[in-house]
Amino acid sequence: MRRTFFNLILSAFLLAPAAAFSCPLIDGLVDSNCDGVLKIGFAGDSFVKGVGDRSELGGGYVSRIAELYPNAVIVKYPQPGIASGILLSRLIRKVPRMASGPADRDLHDTDVLIIDVGRNDYWEDRNPPNTVGNIRRIVKFLTAALANNGQTPPVIAVTMLAPTNRAFQAPFISAVDSLLVKQRSASLPAYVRADLLRNSLISRDGLHPNALGYADLAQIIKTYLETKGLSRARAICRDNDNDGIFDKFEASKFGTNPALADTDSDGYNDGDEVFTHDTDPTDPNSHP
Ligand SMILES: [Ca+2]
Ligand SMILES: [Ca+2]
Ligand SMILES: [Ca+2]
C-alpha cells in the first residue's frame, strides 16, 4: 500500500514534464500512426511536381516543405496535367501496388496527406460540381485504401485551387473554390488556403506559381499543418491518460493500459518507458 502511494507521488512528478499528448511529436507535427516516422505525402497535378519553379532548389512547395520539416520523410505522387477524375482512377489502380514501387511515391504510412488537383478539369468536362465530387471521392478512397490491414489512415487535407492569371480559366477555378468553401467538411477537408496566393506570384504561363509563389504556398501549407492540421490530428490521436502514448496504440502496440499512465506501477510512465528509456512498460522489474 505504502509502495503504491509512493509510486503515485513519483508518477505525478514524472508525468508533470511529459508532453500533453503524442507518440512523440516530430518537427512539431503528430506522428499519427505512431511508427516513429513523420511521413508527409502529396498527390496531385503539376503543382505537386513544382512546374514553374525556376529556382535552383526546384520542386515547388514540396521541396520547401522538406526544408521546413527536416526530420520528415516527404513523398509525392505528381501527375502533371491530370484531371480529378483521372487522378481518382489512377490512384485506385496504383495505391494497392505502391508499396512495391518507388519508395518516394508510396503514400502508405503517411501521417499527413495533401491533395492538390482540379484545375485541369477545365480542359475536361469543365463542371465545378463534378470536380468537387471527384475530390471528395479521392479523399474517401485514400482514407479507406490507406487504412488497409489495420493501418491508421493519414490526416488528409485538400488544397483550395490557387488563383490563375488566365482570364479564360479564372471563372472555373473561382467556381471550384467557392464550392470547396461551401462544402468544406470532414469528407471534403479543403483546409489548405492556396486561394490566398497573390496573383503577382504566378509565373508567365498564367497558371503555375513562380519560385516565390511556391515558397508562399509552402508557408500556407505550414500554417495548415501547424494549426488546423495539428488540431485534427490531436482529435484523432487522443491520449486519455496523458502518458505520451495515443489511446488507440496503448493495448494494440505496447500492451499498456490506455487508462493508466504507469501500467506496471514501477514509477515510470508508459510513454517514458517506451520512447525515452526503452524499458518494458508492462514489467515492473524493467525500468531505468
Ligand atoms: Ca508516422
Ligand atoms: Ca495514453
Ligand atoms: Ca511503468
State pLDDT tens for residues 203-250.
Answer: 999 999 999 999 999 999 999 999 999 999 988 888 889 998 888 889
Q: Which residues surround ligand 3, an ion (CB under 5 A)?
A: 262, 264, 266, 268, 281
Average pLDDT, the chain: 91
Q: What percent of the chain shows pLDDT beyond 70?
A: 92
pLDDT at position 35 is 86
Task: Return the SS3 of 145.
Answer: helix
How far apart are the CA of 240 and the centre of ligand 2, in A?
5
* pLDDT (mean) for 3-30: 56
Q: What is the DSSP string of 45-113?
A: SHHHHTTT--SSS-SHHHHHHHHHSTTSEEEEEE-TT--HHHHHHHHHHHGGGGGGS-GGG--TT-SEE
Phi-psi region of 118 (alpha: psi -120 to 50; beta: other; left: phi over 0): left
SS3 33: coil
- How far is CA 128 from each of CA 81, 133, 135, 137, 173, rounded to the nearest angstrom? 17, 9, 11, 14, 8
**239 C-alpha to ligand 3 centroid (Å):** 16
DSSP 18: S
pLDDT at residue 237, rounded to an integer: 84
Taking the centre of ligand 3 as the mean of its atom positions, its distance from the CA of residue 147, in whole angstroms, is 30
- Residue 171 corresponds to which cell in the numbers above? 471563372
Q: How many CA atoms lie within 13 A of 23 on its CB side?
A: 21
Taking the centre of ligand 2 as the mean of its atom positions, its distance from the CA of residue 281, in whole angstroms, is 12
% helix, strand, coil for the chain, step of 5: 45, 10, 45
Report whether pLDDT(10) > 70: no
Q: Is the pLDDT of residue 55 over 90?
A: yes
For 142-181, what is each residue's pLDDT tens digit? 999 999 767 788 999 999 999 999 999 999 999 999 999 9
Q: 67 vs 4, which has greater pLDDT?
A: 67
Which residues have their alpha-adjacent CB atom under 5 A from ion ligand 2? 239, 241, 243, 245
Q: Which residues contact 112 (CB under 8 A, 6 or more apart)?
A: 29, 32, 38, 39, 40, 41, 154, 155, 157, 225, 229, 233
Phi, psi torsion values for 189, nearest 5 degrees: -80, 70
For the segment 245-261, the average pLDDT, to the nearest whole number, is 91
4 Cα–ligand 1 center, Å: 35
Cα torsion angle, 68, 74, 80, 84, sign: negative
Distance 288 CA to ligand 3 centre (A): 10
> Superfamily assignment of 39-236 in CATH?
SGNH hydrolase (3.40.50.1110)
Residue 52 near residue 209, CB atoms below 8 Å: yes
pLDDT at 22 (0 to 100): 52
- 209 in helix, strand or coil? strand
CB of 111 within 8 A of CB of 25? no
CA distance 253 to 237: 14
All cell numbers assigned to 172: 472555373
Instruction: Tell me the whole-structure pTM to 2 decimals.
Output: 0.86
Which cell numbers in the block locate residue 284? Answer: 515492473
Query: Which residue's C-alpha cell is 505522387?
Result: 77
Residue 76: beta bridge partners? 42
Q: Which of 24-38, 72-86, 103-117 has the lowest mean pLDDT?
A: 24-38
Per domain, the residue ranges of the chain are 2-21+252-277, 39-236
